[in-house]
Amino acid sequence: MKPLIRPTAWAVVLAAVLLAGFGRTEDPPKKPAEVPKAPTVMQRKLTHAQRILEGLALNDFNKIKKGADELTLCAEEASWRVVDTPKYALFSNDFLRNLDGLKKAAKAKNIDAAALAYVDMTLTCVKCHQYVRDEKMGAAPELMPLRLNRVGTE
Ligand code: HEC
């Protein structure tokens, strides 16, 4: 009996080992840390802005419009308004106006106007970030909108 059962048992063990091995190489089990997190609205901005640049470089107005539409949606999300000051709202408005210019230029298939609107928009990215950085430094220990307002008007 034993000599008959053993080869079968070994065959089963071998098959299991092979299957486990193949399984690992084909489909590695994902640890929680490896599962990509959904990018935040702040992170998505960069992707959309890059798409616009790609559209400008390739004279692809569809891509420009798509990027501008996505950025507009980002700016309208609640999580965009992490800073609650009039100045931040002003930068946000500038940004939306730049995007309108970009969309108009894309619709008119005017690459020069689109490039110019893109530069304006990029300056607004930099200006708003500069503002957020400066205000954070002046408002230790944490960013407090009411105090920020006072700092600006005193
Ligand atoms: C109206 C203000 C404003 C404008 C305009 C703006 N941003 Fe931001 N951005 C922010 C704020 C606020 C944060 C978050 C800063 C923080 O958490 O300290 C941020 C963060 C970011 C980050 C870091 C995200 C991360 O979590 O790593 C990137 C990248 C970024 N913005 C790209 C852009 C780009 C590209 C543009 C222009 C196309 C842009 N932003 C325009 C306000 C703005």
- At 3, list the tokens: 């000599």
Question: How far is it, in rounded angstroms, from Cα 20 to Cα 18?
Answer: 5
Which residue, judged by its Cα, is nearest atom 16 of ligand 1?
132
The pLDDT value given to residue 8: 59
Domain ranges, ordered by start, for the chain: 41-153
Question: How far is it, in rounded angstroms, from Cα 65 to Cα 102?
Answer: 7
- At 134, list the tokens: 């400066």
137-151 tens-digit pLDDT: 554 444 444 444 444
**This prediction's pTM:** 0.73
CA 17, 20, 23, 24 dihedral sign is negative
58-82 tens-digit pLDDT: 999 999 999 999 999 999 999 999 9
- Protein fold of 41-153: Four Helix Bundle (Hemerythrin (Met), subunit A) (1.20.120)
Rounded distance from Cα 77 to ligand 1 centre (Å) = 13
- At 74, list the tokens: 């980002």
Pocket test for ligand 1, best of 125, 137, 143 (most atoms within 8 A of CB): 125
145 half-sphere exposure, CB direction, 13 A CA radius: 9
Q: Tell me: pLDDT of 91 over 50.
A: yes
